[in-house]
Amino acid sequence: MRKISFLFTGLFMATAIFAKDNDDSTKLVMDMLKRMDSIESALHYKTGKLSLAGGAVSINIPEQFKFLESADAKYVVEDLWGNPPSTDPPLGLLMPVSSNVTMAGGYTFIVSFQDMGYVKDDDAAKINYDDLLKEMKKSNVEENEERKKLNLTQLNLVGWAAKPYYDKDRKILHWAKEYGIAGEEVNTLNYDVRVLGRKGVLVLQAVSTMDELDSVNAHINDVLAMVNFTEGNRYSDFDSSTDNVAAWTIGGLVAGKVLAKAGLFAVILKFLKFIIAGVVLAGGAIWRFISGRRKKKEEEMQYQPEPVQTNTDTDLPVQ
């Protein structure tokens, strides 16, 4: 999050200023930077054409983007970002080539597949999304109770960042939600995309702060052009005599009822908990240095020897 990024930058500047007198705090910040570099270098970023979901989905990553496959994606989402562990890990993470998972800013698409069957889209044009939002806010209260029990960050649903839209021709549903987090200056953005297929739904969920909304909107068509269901797995390949029909319709996808039933959280945070821990440590070192200097100055001010009087004619001490 941007607040963390600003704080981290501020601490780095502070340690640079006091570097000569406070080697410990400088070392802490440098250690954090080294750790971030170490994490990034250990990840296996991919480009080009990849097969996902057992061959049902094809993704072609151009040079402007990069992709992390399932194992790396699970590590990032759960261990680095501090989200609840899931028995159904993501297929991968998709992000601009200029972004890194250890960066507080930027956006990342979490890619997954929900094997729920064929989703009928008959209700798409009939949904009142304002009424649906009211229901989602009620569910948000219940979800926060679960988050509280698990000692996780609580999120307050503010409203639509982009109202749901269903492209009936392309079978793509997308919408965005804005969440507020106590103590954070910038709200969180969850931008959701669902691509309907024959046996389930491809999920792309952009995780960022609200000030990245314009950037996500500007590149959403590029992202959608990368992913496709393969032949035999497309929405148009549905066979009513053999295929399962999903229990959920378009409204259920937007409301997150599928995730709720599975015991999963519909909201993902990019919270970089390892950076937060480092910031606390570095901040403590800097504060000890500052308070130490202030204490020393106060002690010096408490004891000031009387000035020595001099003879103006001879510049000798007065007897």
DSSP secondary structure letters along 206-269? EEEEGGGHHHHHHHHHHHHHHEEEPTTSBGGG--TTTSPBPS--HHHHHHTHHHHHTT--S---
52-66, 104-118, 139-153, 293-307: segment of lowest average pLDDT: 293-307
The dihedral region occupied by 124, where left means phi > 0, alpha psi between -120 and 50, and beta the remainder, is alpha
Give buried/exposed letters for 41-59 (b at 16+ CB in 10 A, else e): eebebeeeebebbeebbbb
d(CA 84, CA 81): 9
Higher pLDDT, 107 or 33: 107
Q: Give the mean model confidence (pLDDT) for residues 254-277.
A: 53
Give the sign of the dihedral formed by CA 225, CA 115, CA 233, CA 68: positive
Q: What is the pLDDT of residues 132-155, one digit of tens each?
A: 999 889 888 888 888 788 777 788
Phi, psi of 161 (to 5 degrees): -90, -25
Give buried/exposed letters for 133-167 (b at 16+ CB in 10 A, else e): beebeeebeebbeebeeeebbbbebeebbbebebe
Per-domain boundaries in the chain: 2-35+275-300, 46-269
Task: Answer yes or no: are the C-beta atoms of 227 and 203 closer than 8 Å.
Answer: no
End-to-end CA distance of the chain: 69
d(CA 104, CA 315): 64
41: tokens are: 């270098």
Residue 225 has pLDDT above 50, yes or no: yes
Average pLDDT, the chain: 77
Instruction: Tell me which residue has tokens 């340690």.
Output: 15
Phi, psi of 114 (to 5 degrees): -105, 110
125: tokens are: 């044009």
Considering the chain, what percentage of its residues have pLDDT values greater than 70? 71
d(CA 143, CA 264): 10
The C-alpha torsion from 62 through 68 and 73 to 75, rounded to 10°, is: -150
Q: What is the pLDDT of residues 287-304, one digit of tens each?
A: 444 445 444 544 555 545
Please tell me whether the overall predicted TM-score, pTM, comes out greater than 0.85 for this model: no
3-12, 35-44, 168-177: segment of lowest average pLDDT: 3-12
Q: What is the pLDDT of residues 190-201, one digit of tens each?
A: 899 999 999 999
Single-letter code of the amino acid located at 267: V
For residue 223, count CB atoms less than 10 angstroms from its CB and return exposed for 0-12, middle for 13-18, buried for 19 or more. Answer: buried
Residue 269 has pLDDT above 60, yes or no: no
Single-letter code of the amino acid located at 175: W
Q: What is the pLDDT of residues 85-104, one digit of tens each?
A: 777 788 999 999 988 888 76
d(CA 201, CA 124): 15
Could you tell me the pLDDT band of residue 62, with boundaries at 50, 70 and 90? very high
- Sequence-distant (6+) residues with CB within 8 A of 29 are 11, 12, 15, 278, 282
d(CA 254, CA 36): 35
Could you tell me the pLDDT band of residue 39, with boundaries at 50, 70 and 90? confident
Could you tell me the pLDDT band of residue 275, with boundaries at 50, 70 and 90? very low
Q: 46-269 in CATH: which number? A: 2.60.120.1690
